[in-house]
């Protein structure tokens, strides 16, 4: 099947026509990159957690997206999840970025997995569970990804409320909730840095190379028999 590229405007219009009614605040941003001023287009839109799957399906119907990452931020009463992806990936000049923003209320921090549609999403979904405390319903692999097994439960490093990193963990994060008999992490000693001024001073007093151009050449005597 031949992929037929669409412009950012056509993609945005199609999503609003064929996607769920919850899609709103659709914006298109364009800019140029590099010395050749290559044009880049990005679509931003909002949807709900209940309509996330339908929204992703609408994107897939246009072109199967390349998911970059799911980012997230604690904005107060909600955790804002942003699904960053690109359609027509690998088609120079036709690639369009799409960011789907999904506000998830803290009173019910649950979002459905999209890994059955985009399998690679499971890794970034696992990260959101342990860093933001979001429950990803239906995720095939709920294990943590970055935090150690003995990391304090109920503490989420990216949260800005009472469930975030407590004051006592800020300076000694590795020590909070760890067994007392565990040795401190090894820290490689810093190498002594030589200041540029010291290098210049050494160069100034270094003996100069002898000028061999004016050096007298040894005499060569040729015997002719």
For the cut 70, the answer to whether the pLDDT of residue 221 exceeds it is no
For the cut 90, the answer to whether the pLDDT of residue 141 exceeds it is yes
The per-residue pLDDT for 210 is: 58
- Residue 54 CA to residue 23 CA, distance in Å, equals 10
The per-residue pLDDT for 168 is: 77
* CATH architecture designation of domain 1-105: 2-Layer Sandwich (3.30)
Strand 135-137 versus strand 110-112 pairing type: parallel
What is the secondary structure of the chain as a DSSP string?
-------HHHHHHHHHHHS-TT-EEEEEEEEEETTTTEEEEEEEEE--STTHHHHHHHHHHH---EEEEEEEEE-SSEEEEEEEEEESTTSTTT-EEEEEEEEEEGGG-EEE--TTTSTTHHHHHHHHHHHH--EEET-S----SSS-TTSPTT--TT--STTS--HHHHS-GGGTT--TTSPPPP-PPPPPPPPHHHHHHHHHHSPPPP-TTSSPPPP------
The per-residue pLDDT for 219 is: 55
CA 14 vs CA 19, 49, 63: distances in Å: 8, 20, 12
Ordered by start, the domain boundaries in the chain are: 1-105
Give tens-digit pLDDT for 151-161.
Answer: 999 999 999 99
**β-bridge partners, 99:** 44, 84
Record the pTM. Answer: 0.75
pLDDT, average across residues 40-58: 97
For the cut 70, the answer to whether the pLDDT of residue 177 exceeds it is no
Band of the pLDDT at 185, cuts 50, 70, 90? confident
Which of 20-34, 75-89, 141-155, 174-188 has the weakest average pLDDT? Answer: 174-188
- Residue 217 CA to residue 145 CA, distance in Å, equals 73
Band of the pLDDT at 175, cuts 50, 70, 90? low
How many Cα neighbours within 13 Å face the side chain of 108?
6
Phi, psi for 105 (deg, rounded to 5):
-60, 140
For the cut 90, the answer to whether the pLDDT of residue 67 exceeds it is yes
For the cut 60, the answer to whether the pLDDT of residue 10 exceeds it is yes
Residue 1 neighbours by CB under 8 Å, 6+ apart? none
CB 52 within 8 A of CB 82: no
Start-to-end CA span in the chain (Å): 92
pLDDT, average across residues 7-17: 97
């Amino acid at each position: 099947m031949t992929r037929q590229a669409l412009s950012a405007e056509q993609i945005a219009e199609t999503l609003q026509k064929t996607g769920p009614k919850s899609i709103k605040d659709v914006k298109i941003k364009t800019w140029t990159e590099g010395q050749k001023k290559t044009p880049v287009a990005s679509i931003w839109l909002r949807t709900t957690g209940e309509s996330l799957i339908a929204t992703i399906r609408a994107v897939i119907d246009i072109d199967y997206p390349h998911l970059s990452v799911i980012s997230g931020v604690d904005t107060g009463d909600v955790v804002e999840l942003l699904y960053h992806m690109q359609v027509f990936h690998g088609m120079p000049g036709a690639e369009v970025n799409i960011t789907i923003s999904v506000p998830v209320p803290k009173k019910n921090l649950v979002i459905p997995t999209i890994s059955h549609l985009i399998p690679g999403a499971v890794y970034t979904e696992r990260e959101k569970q342990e860093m933001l405390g979001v429950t990803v319903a239906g995720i095939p692999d709920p294990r943590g990804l970055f935090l150690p097994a003995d990391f304090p439960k109920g503490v989420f490093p990216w949260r800005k409320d009472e469930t975030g990193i407590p004051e006592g963990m800020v300076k000694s994060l590795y020590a909070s909730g760890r067994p007392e008999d565990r040795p401190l992490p090894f820290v490689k000693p810093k190498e002594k840095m030589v200041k540029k001024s010291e290098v210049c001073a050494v160069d100034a007093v270094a003996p100069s190379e002898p000028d061999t151009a004016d050096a007298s050449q040894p005499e060569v005597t040729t015997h002719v028999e």
